[in-house]
Amino acid sequence: MYLTKEEERILNGDFGLWPAKAMKLLVAQGELNDAKRMIKIERAHISGVSYKTAGLPMIELLEDMVRNGVRVKIFSTLNPAGMDLERWKELGVPEDFAKLQKRLIDAYVKLGVIPTLTCAPYLAENRPKFAEPVAFSESSAVVFVNSVLGARTNRNGNLDVLSAAIVGRIPKMGLLLKENRRGTTLIKVKAKPNGEYYYGLLGLYVGNILSPREIPVFELESKPGIWEMRALGAGLAAAGSTAMFHIVGITPEAKNREEAFQGDQPKERLAIQHSDLISFEQEHFPSDIEPDLIAIGCPHATIEEIKEIARKIGNRKVKNNVRFWIYTSRYVKQKLRDIGILNKLEMQGIKIISDTCMVVSPIEALGIKKVYTNSGKAAWYIPKLTKNLAVAKIKSLDQIINKVTA
């Protein structure tokens, strides 16, 4: 793999031990994937921020970097942590957990990473442009920026992205190359998907059956909005390893079927009926439960989504026996405050939580066992990341709101 003189100096340790280690990891990755050279990047988004998933070894690694004076070289943002930094006590997060979580975030901040603590950095601070190469490591953000924004990132691990942020480069390989963004599997959906719930379910269904590295090309009978596409991608990436999809006539690299497949024929073809999705839902999610938590905002809720919830709820209130929590970014929370929705929702029994989410926070430690969510990704991960202490049922926003408000 060709390296510039400066890259060789980084590798040889002229800029310190940690940049050399970072470069070594990236070069090894590049050589394994036949990359010809490195490419400079200007932005990164780093996951592995919740103490629940990262653990003590990650804190120690980051603190060692801090002691050695490491700083990231490019604009870098952080994924959600394991708790709301302001409301953690009120939400019942254990004190020990909170201390370790703060240590972890502090270390990232000392490295120069911006503590956005959101998995939707593209809503505000960190929104890549079309065709821009970036290093992102949150699977839902990876699939969103590739498919919907047309920016270019591989599905990286958090240490890969941290390394890329330290040296400001990544190996030019995988989805950074146009030819690897070609669709592989044509998927005709013989149904009219509608709403985040339905698109999330479709994403889970397809992600669950696709082989790794496949890029699905959807032909749909309905026209999804941007947040429905986001739900589709999050579901695909949760149940499988999909990092990119196309929707013919809608996503930016798929004006028509030919463009999506870059002139090739699909390797595989699949037709999906509404009944397939319903059978999948019945097989994977509990038939019905009385929820003790409503969890909305996976990926982190947008202003539009929260406004829609406010509109649907009207003047009703959440019943006393259920928690209704919406997870979002600080940026969106501030916007809600500015337009006067935040207080009204809180008075109606809905908590707007930032910095964290239902999957990476320790909800099981709060005694939560049964969750309703409109997110395919959250429904998929909650049982796995709580060691089956909690189950989740995926439902549409209307179903959820009608069930738990009066």
Per-residue x/- marks for ligand F3S, 309-338, CB under 6 A?
------------------x-----------
62 lines the binding site for ligand F3S (CB under 6 A): no
150 lines the binding site for ligand F3S (CB under 6 A): no
119 lines the binding site for ligand F3S (CB under 6 A): yes
Q: Nearer Cβ to ligand F3S, position 123 or 272? A: 123
The single residue among 21, 43, 300, 393 that binds ligand F3S, judged by CB under 6 A, is 300
The single residue among 298, 332, 350, 400 that binds ligand F3S, judged by CB under 6 A, is 298
201 lines the binding site for ligand F3S (CB under 6 A): no
Q: How far is the CB of 125 from ligand F3S (least distance, A)?
A: 15
Q: Nearer Cβ to ligand F3S, position 29 or 118? A: 118
137 lines the binding site for ligand F3S (CB under 6 A): no
The single residue among 77, 79, 153, 251 that binds ligand F3S, judged by CB under 6 A, is 79
Restricting to residues 231-290, name those near ligand F3S by CB under 6 A.
Answer: 234
306 lines the binding site for ligand F3S (CB under 6 A): no
Backbone φ and ψ of 306, nearest 5°: -70, -35
Q: How far is the CB of 323 from ligand F3S (least distance, A)?
A: 16
Q: How far is the CB of 115 from ligand F3S (least distance, A)?
A: 14
Give the neighbor-by-neighbor strand order of the sheet with 268-273: 246-247, 216-219, 185-190, 268-273
105 lines the binding site for ligand F3S (CB under 6 A): no
140 lines the binding site for ligand F3S (CB under 6 A): yes
Restricting to residues 339-398, name those near ligand F3S by CB under 6 A.
Answer: 357, 359-360, 377-378, 381
* Whole-angstrom Cα Rg for the chain: 21
Residues that bind ligand F3S (CB under 6 A): 79-80, 119, 140, 234, 298-300, 327, 357, 359-360, 377-378, 381
